[in-house]
Amino acid sequence: MGEQCILTHDVGTSGNKAALVSTSGKILGVAEKNYDVNYPKPGWAEQDPKQYWIAVVETTRELLKKTKADPQDVIGISLDAQMMSAIPVDKDGNALRPAMIWLDSRSEKQSDEFEAKFDPISQLLDFGNLPMTTAKDVIPKIWWIRDNEPKIFQKAYKWCDVKDYVIRQLVGDFYTDWSTALLFGLFHIQNHVWVDELIQGVGLSRDKLCEVVKTTDIVGTLTKEAAQQLGLTTETPVICGAGDAPATHVGSGAIRTNEGHLYLGTSGWVSVTVDNFTADPDTGIAAIYSGVPGKFMLIGEMESVAAPFKWFKDNLGGLECLMAMEKGCDPYDVINEEAASVGPGAKKLIFLPWMLGERAPIQDTMVRGGFINLSFHHGRPEIARAILEGVAYHIRWITKNIQKILDRGVLDPNQPKPQIQSLNACGGGAVSPLWMQIFADVLNKRIRPLKEPRHVAALGIAIISMVGLEIYPDFETAVDKVIKIEKDYYPNENLKPIYDEMYNVFEGIYPKLKEVYQTLNRGETH
């Protein structure tokens, strides 16, 4: 027997990442397999659900081979996944069509219809659910299938999100967790049950939806077929797990009330832990379930975070890629060096990071990216730094609105208002020291990247599993044992006037350009 461990899967947009995590939080091994997003038409974004399962199987087998782990030492398996997908399946768990994933925004007509029938305020006040009415949300996607593929709509035995689909392959039955169910748009926030009146109102029935359990609940053991494919035993328990953001919330370590974290992946968010549900429909910022049952994460999402930096590398960074080959280093290291050679403010160049539309604090699928104040004295280094700063400006905009919501929650004038003092940073972007310092300076807050920022979801799911398996008595104990901070970055107060000026200009740009985006992009969704 070797070291006991949890097998985690992070079923993301670009691929699946499997990890074996010891009970002390050590990453014993990682395996990844990519799969494609298909864009058949503007606004469409689909994936073949079979690829999720193939990726889970192949990465599990690769990981067991690479680490030489004994299947008996894998004491649990769990997963997180991308959220807000619509996958109709038959009774055997076979997908009836490609998954309409979170990037898919074809359902504008159905979104308008849904909001007209169930306006967001009535959803929240009358039904107790989180309003989910945009074209990227689940019910408008289901209605698109209803309107355009009626035979599939009628044939659907269950409607699954990505994690639900994979769980069906693992244990042979349909389960989802609170966090995934909430973003389905038909789930009561306080009572933790499906809302029958809403379900009937959207033309579904409760038996079409997965059974809802806590993130820490054991939903079964591996079926014989799944165990054989994975190379594990049928005695391996499967813990339900959480959506990607709630799992990351746990893995960030910022699970105590008023603690916050910053996730910097392809997309990203700012989140603060709160004890009760709250929301601001005007900004798209709302509390969703954390991976910790009973806790919420007040979250503002950003559609494009690290993606613009990758866009720069792929489209403008040919020279940097050649230099990286000569140096034997990562192209991003070269680009970061160039960006670091430019002073704060990027010579008054502002990047608008809205390349896929935005969710918060503006809810606009037609807004797009761009550069403001570009001139002949700007080159690639200034553009690179402006991209890093532009993302930070938008994160500051979200954080400012989260703070307003926190302030409104304090009704007693004699009670101090909770302040967001620091943010734990995670995701691939958190490995850049330059970006960490830029965030600290732009937000004027302490930024604390994790020691394992790229494996935050795996650590979060491992913690959820270990609490569910009673290896740790509670989440606080598990987090204190497992999660480690790499370094603290503090704001440079001398730069505050520069970044305050640049941020104030940034915040004022969207209202001036909103109609331009509407004119240019009406009818387009990418």
Q: Stretch 230-246: mean pLDDT, rounded?
A: 97
Q: pLDDT at position 411, please?
A: 60
Confidence of residue 44 (pLDDT cuts 50, 70, 90): very high
Q: How confident is the model at residue 134 (pLDDT cuts 50, 70, 90)?
A: confident
Look at residue 120 and tell me whether its pLDDT is greater than 80: no
At residue 525, does pLDDT exceed 60? no
Question: So what's the pLDDT on residue 524?
Answer: 63
Q: What's the mean pLDDT in 285-311? A: 95
pLDDT single digits (tens) 255-279: 999 999 999 998 999 999 999 999 8
Q: Which residues lie below 8 Å from residue 90, measured CB to CB, with a gap of 6+?
A: 96, 155, 156, 157
Distance (Å, whole) CA 212 – CA 179: 10
> Yes or no: is domain 307-449+492-521 CATH 1.10.357.10?
no
Name the nearest CA neighbour of 273 among 263, 285, 260: 260
Q: pLDDT digits over 411-466, tens only?
A: 667 788 899 999 999 999 999 999 999 999 999 999 999 999 999 999 999 999 99
Q: Over range 79-90, report the average pLDDT.
A: 98
- Spell out the domain ranges in the chain: 5-253+452-482, 307-449+492-521
Average pLDDT of the residues in 486-507: 98
Q: Could you report the per-residue pLDDT of 352-386, keeping only the tens digit for each?
A: 999 989 989 999 989 999 999 999 999 999 999 99
Predicted pLDDT at 130: 78
Fold match between 5-253+452-482 and 307-449+492-521? Answer: yes
Q: In the block, which residue shows the tokens 């994790």?
A: 450
Average pLDDT over residues 14-39: 96
Band of pLDDT at residue 1, cut at 50, 70 and 90? low
pTM of the predicted structure, to 2 decimals: 0.92
pLDDT score, position 39? 95
Mean pLDDT value across residues 464-488: 97
Region 303-308: mean pLDDT is 95
Tell me the H-state helices in 29-148.
Answer: 49-67, 108-117, 120-122, 138-148
pLDDT at 121 over 90: no
Average pLDDT over residues 494-507: 99
Q: Let me know if domain 5-253+452-482 sits in CATH 3.40.50.300.
A: no
318 CB contacts (<8 Å, ≥6 apart)?
A: none
Rg of the chain over CA atoms, in angstroms?
22
Are 335 and 312 in contact by the 8 Å Cβ rule? The answer is yes
pLDDT band, residue 409 (cuts 50/70/90): confident
Give the per-residue pLDDT at 486. Answer: 97
**Mean pLDDT to the nearest integer, 28-41:** 96
One-character DSSP codes across 467-516: HHTTSSSSHHHHHHHH--B---B---GGGHHHHHHHHHHHHHHHHHHHHH
Instruction: Tell how strand 99-100 and strand 268-274 pair up.
Output: unpaired
Share of the chain above pLDDT 90, in %: 88
Q: What percent of the chain has pLDDT over 70?
A: 98
Collect all residues with Cβ–Cβ distance below 8 Å to 500 and sequence separation of at least 6: none
Indicate if the pLDDT at residue 526 is higher than 90: no
